[in-house]
């Protein structure tokens, strides 16, 4: 999946990403980096709204798993089950969220379980960055469910 493909998918299927003006900065097997500007995500203090920051972190983590699952050819539904978000500094401009597998060795286990049982869970983390420093940290557990087409 290319950066343009992912961005189009997000904007079409997750409308909040379009409203937030999310752009895909980088995709690799190990991470996805997304970016969003301040203007559509601003709060009453002139900084990024916490909900927007959290959303970008979730989208980056979800996108990493989505791109990996797309490459398997498996039809699935991917949802977040639970998450934690820590905000460390205010964000006053364009910010990024870079996702990573919490434990990279878990991906093969996750894919094997999904293949065998039709359902699997995995943890993904994201770091929010602004002005060359980490400003927030996210960890989420995601669930994939195989979809059987009739």
* Distance between first and last Cα of the chain: 26
Residue 136, CA distances (Å) to 52, 90, 126, 133 in order: 12, 9, 8, 9
What sign has the CA pseudo-torsion 6, 75, 29, 60?
Answer: positive
pLDDT tens for each residue of 76-132 = 999 999 999 999 999 999 999 999 987 878 888 999 999 899 999 999 999 999 999
> Does the pTM of the predicted model rise above 0.85?
yes
Cβ atoms of 37 and 94 closer than 8 Å: yes
CATH class, 3-146 region = alpha beta
């Amino acid at each position: 999946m290319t950066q343009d493909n992912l961005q189009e998918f997000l904007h079409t299927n997750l409308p909040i990403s379009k409203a937030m003006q999310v752009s895909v900065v980088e995709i690799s097997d190990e991470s996805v980096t997304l970016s969003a500007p301040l203007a559509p995500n601003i709060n009453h203090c002139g900084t990024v709204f916490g909900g927007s920051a959290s959303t970008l972190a979730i989208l980056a983590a979800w996108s990493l798993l989505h791109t990996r699952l797309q490459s398997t050819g498996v039809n699935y539904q991917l949802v977040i089950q639970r998450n934690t978000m820590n905000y460390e500094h205010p964000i006053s401009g364009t910010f990024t969220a870079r996702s990573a597998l919490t434990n990279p060795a878990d991906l093969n286990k996750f894919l094997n379980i999904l293949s065998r049982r039709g359902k699997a869970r995995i943890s993904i983390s994201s770091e929010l960055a602004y002005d060359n420093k980490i400003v927030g940290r996210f960890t989420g557990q995601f669930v994939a469910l195989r979809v059987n087409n009739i």
